[in-house]
A and B are shown apart, each in its own frame.
Chain A
Amino acid sequence: MGTSPESVDVLLSLQGITKCFGAVEALVDVDLQVRSHEVVAVVGDNAAGKSTLAKIVAGVLSPDAGVVELGGHPVVLPNPAAARAQGVEMVFQDLALCDNLDVTSNLFLGRELRGPFGRDDARMEEIAVQVLDSLASRIPSARTPLRELSAGQRQAVAIARTLIGQPRVVVLDEPTAALSIPQTAEVLIHVQRLRDLGLGVVFISHSMTDVLAVADRVEVLRHGRNHGSFDTATTSQEELIGAMTGARVAPRRLQVV
């Protein structure tokens, strides 16, 4: 579509992604596009293929077929480090944080900064404070041990962790799943902040309320296949649930080009 406004700033584009685990077709010919400054929700029933899709974007799994493009160029992401190098960061469903370490150490886990005399703790803490600030987070101090934080704050640390690598695309797999409403409020605000920072966000969730609150667009997966694309400004919860459960055929598959 050349220079139409819809095609500018496409950060991430998946085309025809297929992934099987033995006889299980986790994903079949799936398309997904995410632009700068956009939150795209991916919803679907259990085992619909959401996490598999996320892991392909994050370089944890390799697709059997299909193309992944970042910034308009086809890429191969054999591992998470390769994805990070291309500007893709992910928060996994189980967070993968270390309880006995403080906030700063968790943010830099596996990519500690080094100065002439070893770990550059001062610089890491400085960046940690900046990143927490940019998310408007309510974490008291970058030195607080993780075990002292609430579930919502831990999720905030996991989200902040994605910003250390200065990403273009952030993938969040069910970030509000185990949270109370006040904690959810904070995480949703963080998601909005990521969008405001100009990032593309893939937001996986089971909560239609959360999805419709912060996403610009919702992509429904059903049995590993695209099953409708919805603009959140004009979509009701009932429509989404209908598409997810297959009770109705998705009324319109918006061609996003």
Chain B
Amino acid sequence: MVRKAPGSQSSLRAANKALVLQTVQRWGGLTQIELAAATGLSPASVSTIVRDLFAAGVVETATTTRNGRRAQLVTVSRRMGLAVGIQFGRRHVHVVLADFALHPIAEHTLPLPFEHRVDTGLDRATVLMADLLERVGASFDDVAGVGVAVPAPVEAGTGSISVAGVMPGWDGVDIAQTLSKRTGRPVYVDNDANVGALAESALGAGRQVRDVVYVRASYGVSAGVVVSGNVHRGYAGVAGEIGHVMVDPQGRMCRCGNRGCLDTVAGGAALAESVRPVLGSLTLTDVVRRAGDGEPACARVVADAGAQVGAVVAVVAMVVNPQVVVVGGELAETGEVFLGPLRERIGHRVVGNSVAPLEIVPAELGSRAEVMGAMLLALQATEVSVPVSPETAVEVV
């Protein structure tokens, strides 16, 4: 919002300044050339605006390389605040403290029990966050926003899980409000595949394109759909929950109450169960590691999961028509063991177009995609007010 008489030269500059700042915030960090492309402003005016914002202490610049060439990276000033990303997995919580450029400053990972409880989880996350802040000499007041990723669909309005039973013990709890009360900071909650999609499309393998499907294969299988650069969450935040697409009508009961969901054949528990007769009791992490090392039974179940996930992703791809399918989550760590069959199955089931073939690529941010996306979510929602200088009164809301 620009509070000045419209039409004047200075109000235009102020509006452009706001646009540049919003764009930097949205992406975490951009080079000046990328900023020009993203805002539609000329490189010269971007350069002037960045210089002004820098002088006002709102942004910082650093030398970096893009495509092998030196470039000026623009980030929101660390003085503007810190961001916290929290990822709740089925077996752990990962807490990362970063500056506005999403450079991790400090982090903690705490293993958690299967079916960990919401009170334990939120309490542990708060304590870990406090410890990280203390480590860098900061306090909760320095945190602009907290983003939280959970392995379940989330209804944006209430900040709580929108499909009962998917995360036992977490139902009906307003995660955002509970954590906000503990920390005194604004908290934003979303599904892990959605924030993974956000991160991969803004900073990772989907950077260059506007329509992306991000597939996250781990304990559960889910997808995040990015359409025209925006995450499509759906009415109740359930969009992309492909783990609960029925693939076997005679299959096992799923925790969602339905039967034969993709999760029951390609989720972590199903894979561990499949190898148990020959390898004994293994965790998903064990299965993934051994599959990557070429152990035949583990590689077989991971490959078969790839094909099964691919069959469902093919349908999503027909609906969304993405340029790229980005594949992340623990199973993607096996590389082509999982990706190969997934790619092949999608290839067989998606009609080719004459413009460009659908690309299926591994995620670039790896196990960090979700925390990065959670932080991006928080930063995009955060109000950053620019200090008022005499000639440019700008407030970004």
Give A contacts to B, CB under 8 Å.
Answer: 5-6, 8, 35, 37, 180-182, 184-185, 188-189, 192, 196, 208-209, 212-214, 216-217, 231-234, 236-237
Contact = CB atoms under 8 A, between A and B. Distances in A.
Given A192-B111, A212-B114, A181 B281 contact: no
Interface residues of B, number: 26
B124 A181 contact: yes
Contacts of B109: 185, 189
B128 A185 contact: yes
A176 B276 CA distance: 31
Contacts of B124: 181
Contacts of A180: 127, 131
A213 B108 contact: no
A184 B113 contact: no
Contacts of A185: 108-111, 128
A44 B11 CA distance: 71
A180 B108 CA distance: 13
A214 B285 CA distance: 12
Contacts of B278: 5
B108 A5 contact: no
A216 B281 contact: yes
10 smallest CB-CB distances across A and B, nearest first, come from: A212-B113, A185-B110, A182-B131, A213-B111, A5-B280, A181-B127, A188-B111, A213-B113, A185-B108, A214-B111
5 contacts: A185-B128, A209-B113, A209-B116, A232-B114, A233-B114
B384 interface: no
Contact of B110 (A184, A212, A237): A184
Contacts of A209: 112-113, 116, 120
Given A6-B280, A188-B110, A236 B131 contact: no
B388 to A, nearest CB: 40
B279 interface: yes
Contacts of A236: 115
B91 interface: yes
Nearest to A181: B127
B81 to A, nearest CB: 22
Contact of B127 (A182, A208, A214, A217): A182
Contacts of A35: 280
B277 interface: yes
B286 interface: yes
Nearest to A212: B113
Contacts of B116: 209
Contacts of B272: 233
Contacts of B110: 181, 184-185, 188, 213
Nearest to B286: A37
A207 B127 CA distance: 17
B179 to A, nearest CB: 16
Given A213-B113, A237-B113, A182 B281 contact: no
B49 to A, nearest CB: 41
Interface in B277-302: 277-281, 283, 286, 289
Contacts of B276: 5
Q: Which of B113, B272, B278, B289 has the most CB of A within 10 A?
A: B113
Contacts of B127: 180-182
B163 to A, nearest CB: 22
A234 B277 CA distance: 17
Contacts of A188: 110-111
A256 to B, nearest CB: 10
Nearest to B110: A185
Contacts of A37: 286
Contact of B280 (A8, A182, A232, A234): A8
Given A181-B131, A212-B113, A233-B281, 8 more contacts: A8-B280, A196-B289, A209-B113, A213-B111, A217-B281, A232-B114, A233-B269, A236-B115
